Amino acid sequence: MKYLIKNFFIAARQVFIGNTAYYLWIVFLSVFILLGLSTYIDQLQRGLITTAMRDQVSWGFYISNFTFLVGVAAAAVLLVIPAYLYNFKPIKEIVLFGELLAITAITMCILFIMVDMGQPMRVWHILPVLGTMNFPSSLLAWDVVVLNGYLAINMVIAFYVLYRLSIGKEYKMSVIGPLIILSIPWAVSIHTVTAFLYNGLSARPFWNASILAPRFLASAFCSGPAIMILLFQIIRKRSEVEIDNRAIYKIAELIAYAMGVNLFLLGAEAFKEFYSGSIHSYPMQYLYFGLHGKNALVPWMWFASVLNISAFFLFLFPRTRENFTTLNMGCIFVIIGVYIEKGMGLIVPGFIPDTLGEIYEYTPTTPEIITAMGIWAVGAMLYTVLLKFAIPIYTGKLRFETRGQ
Amino acid sequence: MSSENKQERGVHRRTFLKGAALGLAAATLPGAEADASIWESFFQKHFREMNDKEIKQVIERLEREYEQKYKKKISVGNEKALPGVLFGYGLDLSRCIGCRRCEYACVDENNQSKDPQVHWITVLRFKKGEKWVDLEESEKYYNPPLVPEADYFYMPVQCQQCENPPCVKVCPTQATWKEPDGIVVIDYNWCIGCRYCMAACPYGARRFNWADPNRKPEEINAKTHYLGNRPRYKGVVEKCTFCIQRTRNGRYPACVEACPVGARKFGNLLDPDSEIRYAIEHKRVFRLKEDLNTYPKFYYFFAYGV
């Protein structure tokens, strides 16, 4: 018990002590968190009327961000597969940071769902035993199960590894091996279930297409690793963690394949919709060309397409893939491209035209955007704090006290 | 910078966050001045998991709350479905003149919010000779000085009370379900406001309370049903219930009574002598979006050929 308390303080001190840049970063994020909190409190008091969502477009920016972040969380698996199955050492050493990102992304997902709820105090109604979870009928119930399960798996793996390292011991694969193996299909499942959540609605032809889940996975395997590549470079620069270039190049190569598949699937979707030209193609027409003079998303979608195609070529050729300027450009392109495509570009056209043929153009309100930025700031702060705590343990600078010592 | 200073900053940040957390709590949690009934309301069970005694207590609490809020007595009924009854609706498109009287009667009866405006019935207008069955070319904001207009025809849409309702299938908390008499209802005290049902509904029938429902107390219909027209809350979904508070007491829905041309028919699908059965057996009826296999109990037909 004595050691537990002592170790708790050792760990906590890590988080509260840093250099000026660290404090500035925390203050910077706190400002956004507080701003987000204030717009959210206003939303709680006045209702979701503070957003631009209405009966016609009943999900918007919050659910878009949620969808994108499920992809980011799922992509941690992309690191786990080569690391453990093929024993690719350069990646294996940095899997931990991917798992911490998954924990962060899932936390943000849960926050985005919470702010989208009309009655957040009643969230317990969705839980099994306590509430009346509609399992297995509702895909949202499935999502609650798989997202929380994924969060738990990644927390157990990450904290077990950190704990073993912190007491100066190697972690035992016999303990976390099965969990790591489980986490691979589980990561695929969180994004598949989230895709099915939209996919299963026959009322929305744009989502009710079997290509949805594969496209979800393909685009997630672009954006998640792209974020990882950028984060790895920051971690490498700002700490003593060594990250092998080979790991980064390997991840970039995987992004090229994933983006290739993503673009192919997009092409397949576009062909089916536009060649057959039935009324089910209207949402896609709205997205890329506008419908009845309404075209709020058109420039965004073309922008995203240009970014995604450029990124594909940047990642495809070893020369641009292994040059950090072009590599980072590619990463930023992918992140923005997929954020548009798998965010607003996926959610909003599901509702346009609505089921009675009306076109309600949705653009998020300022409070809606500020609340979302607050959640992104929470995510950035959580990841920072997790790293602040994990990196010294990882590099061997921080060790807990144990009886043996 | 000395470590003392740093420590202080850490504390500041924590106090800061604590303050923010308190603010958040104040906004969501009931304050000290609030009635204890808010906690009762928070811990209220799912409607279908309560026994008769518990339902009675909940209804008494709701009536107290409504009286406090609207300064008038509002009765909340709990009439159960009658055995051997399956409600069905018929709408004669050859008669409808697009006057929207059904829409307004519905609002008067069912206590929808006036601001923001909530309507459970949407009357769609189509141009004669243009395509219409897929609803993509519909116009819901038509506003001519007089109806009917020569070149147009009209189709009111409301909850179709599907036998295979997609909204019930997707609701993550079972807050919406199909009653034995076929009416799809919502427990407004159980709905978490996720709006998945709205995404799933092929008929745009579900409405969300984006803000606190706003209605003058003198305009409130005081005869209500727990699963129907009792006053709702912000952040929950609502929709047409075939006027459950009326139809379970042997009356017609308000829209049926309001229709000036008799385009609306209502009755028991299990009663071979009912008007609705007559329409189904003698007219060529169709249902909206039949390809989706939702099996609505809302039948459209053309009684005569104009």
Using alpha carbons, select from B60, B91, B95, B66 the residue that is nearest to residue B78: B60
Residue A400's pLDDT is what?
78
Give dist(CA A189, CA A132) in Å, integer. Answer: 23
Is the per-residue pLDDT at B35 higher than 70?
no
Domain presence at residue A353 = yes
- The minimum CA-CA distance between B53 and chain A, rounded to whole Å, is 20
Is the per-residue pLDDT at A394 higher than 70?
yes
Looking at beta carbons, which residues of chain B come within 8 Å of A45? Answer: 27
* Closest residue in chain A to residue B124, using alpha carbons only: A356
Domain presence at residue A276 = yes
Residue A390 belongs to domain spanning: 2-395
CB contact under 8 A, A356 and B49: no
CA distances (Å), origin B20, targets B24, B32, B198: 6, 19, 33
In eight-state DSSP terms, residue A400 is -
Token digits for A335? 């992140």
Structural domain count, chain A:
1
Looking at beta carbons, which residues of chain B come within 8 Å of A116? Answer: 194-195
Q: Which of A49-58, A156-165, B18-27 has the highest mean pLDDT?
A: A49-58
Token digits for B173? 């908390």
Residues facing B251 on adjacent strands: none
Token digits for A43? 């939303």
Among A119, A137, A144, the residue with its CB nearest the CB of B235 is A119
At A215-241, the pLDDT tens digits run 999 999 999 999 999 999 999 998 888
Domain presence at residue A400 = no
What is the distance, to the nearest Å, from the Cα of residue A66 to the centroid of all Cα atoms in its chain?
7
Token digits for B152? 């147009």
Would an 8 Å CB–CB cutoff place A120 in contact with chain B? yes
Would an 8 Å CB–CB cutoff place B172 in contact with chain A? yes
Give dist(CA A86, CA A81) in Å, integer. Answer: 7
Please answer whether residues A73 and A105 qualify as being in contact, where contact means their C-beta atoms are separated by less than 8 angstroms. Answer: yes
Residue B1's pLDDT is what?
38
CB contact under 8 A, B13 and A282: no
Domain presence at residue A15 = yes
Q: Residue window 99-158, chain B: list those with CB within 8 Å of chain A.
A: 116, 122, 124, 134-138, 140, 157
Is the per-residue pLDDT at B2 higher than 50?
no
Is the per-residue pLDDT at A112 higher than 50?
yes
CA dihedral A46, A50, A53, A58 (to 10 degrees): -30
CB contact under 8 A, A118 and B124: no
Residue A18's pLDDT is what?
86
Would an 8 Å CB–CB cutoff place A121 in contact with chain B? yes
Mean pLDDT value of segment A173-202: 91
CB proximity list for B18: less than 8 A, separation 6 or greater: none
Give dist(CA A109, CA A281) in Å, integer. Answer: 30
Is the per-residue pLDDT at B20 higher than 70?
no
Mean pLDDT value of segment B151-158: 97
Using alpha carbons, select from A54, A356, A295, A204 the residue that is nearest to residue B140: A356
Q: Quote the pTM value.
A: 0.92
Range B43-306: architecture per CATH = 2-Layer Sandwich (3.30)
| Helices within A117-244 (DSSP H only) | 139-166, 173-199, 212-238
Residue B33's pLDDT is what?
44
Mutate to test the interface with B, among A27, A121, A371 (most CBs of B within 10 A): A121
Residue A67's pLDDT is what?
97
Would an 8 Å CB–CB cutoff place A201 in contact with chain B? yes
Domain presence at residue A71 = yes
Please answer whether residues A374 and A32 qualify as being in contact, where contact means their C-beta atoms are separated by less than 8 angstroms. Answer: yes
Read off the pLDDT band of B4 (50, 70, 90): very low
* Closest residue in chain B to residue A34, using alpha carbons only: B20
Please answer whether residues B91 and B102 qualify as being in contact, where contact means their C-beta atoms are separated by less than 8 angstroms. Answer: no
Mean pLDDT value of segment A303-321: 96
Q: Residue window 219-248, chain A: list those with CB within 8 Å of chain B.
A: none
Token digits for A201? 């609605």
Mutate to test the interface with B, among A124, A284, A356, A382 (most CBs of B within 10 A): A356
Using alpha carbons, select from A379, A312, A297, A299 the residue that is nearest to residue A346: A297
Is the per-residue pLDDT at A210 higher than 80?
yes
Give dist(CA A397, CA B10) in Å, integer. Answer: 23
- The residue behind tokens 């009356």 is B251
| Helices within B116-175 (DSSP H only) | 166-170
Domain presence at residue A404 = no
Characterize the bridge pairing of strands B176-178 and B184-186: antiparallel
Residues facing A366 on adjacent strands: none
In eight-state DSSP terms, residue A281 is G
Token digits for A121? 């105090």
Give dist(CA B292, CA B91) in Å, integer. Answer: 20
Using alpha carbons, select from A393, A351, A332 the residue that is nearest to residue A97: A393
Mean pLDDT value of segment A13-30: 91
Would an 8 Å CB–CB cutoff place A193 in contact with chain B? no
CB atoms within 10 A of CB A38: 17
In eight-state DSSP terms, residue B283 is S
Token digits for B149? 């207009």
**B99-104: which pairs have CB atoms within 8 A and are 24 or more residues apart?**
B99/B147, B99/B260, B101/B258, B101/B259, B101/B260, B102/B156, B102/B254, B102/B255, B102/B258, B102/B259, B102/B264, B103/B156, B103/B255, B104/B258
Please answer whether residues A354 and A328 qualify as being in contact, where contact means their C-beta atoms are separated by less than 8 angstroms. Answer: no
CB proximity list for A113: less than 8 A, separation 6 or greater: A62, A66, B194
At A348-357, the pLDDT tens digits run 999 999 999 9
CA distances (Å), origin B207, targets A116, A117, B113, B211, B299: 16, 15, 11, 12, 22
Where do the structural domains in chain B lie, given as residue ranges? 1-34, 43-306
Residue B91's pLDDT is what?
97
CA dihedral A137, A139, A144, A148 (to 10 degrees): 110
Q: Residue window 43-72, chain A: list those with CB within 8 Å of chain B.
A: 44-49, 51, 53-56, 58-59
Is the per-residue pLDDT at A138 higher than 70?
yes
* Closest residue in chain A to residue B204, using alpha carbons only: A355
Among A37, A56, A125, the residue with its CB nearest the CB of B173 is A125
Residues facing B238 on adjacent strands: B207
Would an 8 Å CB–CB cutoff place B209 in contact with chain A? yes
Characterize the bridge pairing of strands B223-225 and B75-77: parallel
Asked whether the ipTM of the predicted complex exceeds the cut of 0.85, the reply is yes
Q: What is the CATH number of the domain that holds A308?
A: 1.20.1630.10
Residue B76's pLDDT is what?
97
| Phi, psi (degrees; rounded to nearest 5) at A132 | -130, 65
At B273-301, the pLDDT tens digits run 999 999 999 999 999 999 999 999 999 99
* Closest residue in chain A to residue B49, using alpha carbons only: A132
Give dist(CA B60, CA B75) in Å, integer. Answer: 9
> What percent of chain B is modeled with pLDDT above 70?
88
- The minimum CA-CA distance between B14 and chain A, rounded to whole Å, is 11
Give dist(CA B82, CA B244) in Å, integer. Answer: 12
Read off the pLDDT band of B3 (50, 70, 90): very low
**A-B contacts (CB, under 8 Å):** 174
Residue A266's pLDDT is what?
95
